[in-house]
Amino acid sequence: MIAWANFTPVPAFVGGLLIGVAAAMLILLNGRIAGVSGILGRLLQSWGKESAWSVVFVLGLVLAPWFYSLAAPLPEAQIEAGHARLIIAGLLVGIGTRLASGCTSGHGVCGLSRLSLRSLAATITFMLAGIVTVSVVRHLLA
C-alpha cells in the first residue's frame, strides 16, 4: 500500500538532481567519484595526496545543514533506532560498505550512472537486504 500522505515527489526529485549535480561536478572537474564510504574509508586508512580534497569534500557534507539553516529551519528527523541499534547498524554499514567498495552514493548514484553491472549488483543487493530488514523489524518482530 502506498502511503500517499508521506509521498514528497518534488523535494525528492529536486534533492536528487542536486546530488547528481554534486557527483557530476566532482567527476568532471576533479576526475573523482563522489562515493562517501570510499572517501571516508580511504581517509581512515592512510594520509596521501588524495586526502586533502577528500577532507574538504567531507567538510562540505558536514557543513551542509549549517548552510541550509541560514535559509530555512532544518527539516525534522524521526529516528526510531535506539543507541544499541544505531551502534550495530553503524558497524554493519561501515564494514559492509568497505567490503563492497561503495554505498548508496558510490554504487547507487555514480555506479548506476556509469551503467556498471557491478554497481547494479551491489545496489540490488543492499536494497533487497534493506527491504527484508525493515520487513522483519516492522512486521515480523513487532
Partner 1 sequence: MRLLTAFVSGLIFGLGLIISGMTNPAKVIGFLDIFGHWDPSLGLVMGGAILVGVFAFTYAKSRKTSLLGNTMQLPTNSTIDKKLLGGSLLFGIGWGLAGYCPGPAIASLLSDYTQPLIFTTAMLGGMWISSKLS
Give the footprint of partner 1 on residues 60-89 (CB under 8 A).
Answer: 60-68, 74-81, 83, 85-89
- Alpha-carbon span 96 to 82, nearest angstrom: 21
* 52 near partner 1, judged by CB under 8 A: yes
- Alpha-carbon span 103 to 3, nearest angstrom: 26
Residue 94 CB, shortest distance to partner 1, in Å, is: 2
* 125 near partner 1, judged by CB under 8 A: yes
* 93 near partner 1, judged by CB under 8 A: yes
Residue 42 CB, shortest distance to partner 1, in Å, is: 9
* 98 near partner 1, judged by CB under 8 A: yes
CA 82 to chain centroid: 20
The answer to whether 37 touches 103, Cβ cutoff 8 Å, is yes
CA 73 to chain centroid: 22
* 44 near partner 1, judged by CB under 8 A: yes
φ, ψ of residue 62 to 5 degrees: the values are -65, -40
Residue 55 CB, shortest distance to partner 1, in Å, is: 9
* 130 near partner 1, judged by CB under 8 A: yes
- Alpha-carbon span 60 to 67, nearest angstrom: 9
Query: Can you tell me which of 51, 53, 70, 141 binds partner 1, judged by CB under 8 A?
Result: 53
